A and B are shown apart, each in its own frame.
Chain A
Amino acid sequence: MINVNTNVTGPLNSMRPVAGTDFLETPKIGGSDGNKSGFADAIKAAEDYISNIDDLQQSSDMSIKDLLSGKNEDITSVISAVAKADMSFKLLVGVRNKLIEAYKQTMNMQL
């Protein structure tokens, strides 16, 4: 079983229902010192997330290879790894599309 839950769910955590003061804990892009964050910071945060997703994809690849080579016969752990990688990748694609869209809108702005 892969154990990468703790650091990859940062962005997923912010999807949970907001209860009480919980939302104050959600990681703020650009640091928690109250500085205003820029577009570059958002890109940097996405970069960090990409490496996490890459880890998940790697472990999903490894578990598929292990299954096919007969090293591991437990198909459910493959399903688990693939489901996690798939879910995180979809989140990444969603965030990426949103960022690109925001960039395009800004660039097309009439000055």
Chain B
Amino acid sequence: MKVDNGFGPIDIAISGLKAQGKQMNVISSNIANARTSDAGNGEPYRRLQAEFETDGELGGVKLDKIVTDMSDFLRVLDPGNPMADESGYVAVPNVSLPVEMINMNIATRMYQANVAVLRRYQQIIETTLELLR
């Protein structure tokens, strides 16, 4: 990729914004489904996780794929539930709300960092243009 592109940093920062937006999508899906007992396939919802990859050398970031967290489901004692097994436990999604909250904080800060890059780049271009005055 060419380095001497005046708009390069803008595109890269925007790709970061988009990536963190998608991360937010995944996190909100996880939180919304934190107690979904049926994800359509007979088992509880499995936590999703966004994987990112670089978009070419000296490029931005893009969403690689959304993977499923295959760790064990949590088990909650609820003998009255018709979905309970013989010992009275119900499987609930492997979503941990504190983890999702921390991930959301990270995504928010990353988004802000990308916005900061964008703003700072605009500032330095303006500083350069001041030389014309």
Contact = CB atoms under 8 A, between A and B. Distances in A.
Interface in A18-32: none
B99 interface: no
B6 A12 contact: yes
A42 interface: no
A79 interface: yes
Contacts of A16: 4
Interface residues of B, number: 18
B4 A94 contact: no
Interface in B97-120: 118
Contacts of A90: 125-126, 129
Chain A interface mostly: helix
B87 interface: no
A94 B122 contact: no
B21 A94 contact: no
7 contacts: A79-B17, A79-B118, A86-B122, A87-B122, A87-B125, A90-B129, A94-B132
Interface of A: 1, 5, 8-9, 12-13, 15-16, 74, 76-77, 79-80, 83-84, 86-87, 90-91, 94-95, 97-98
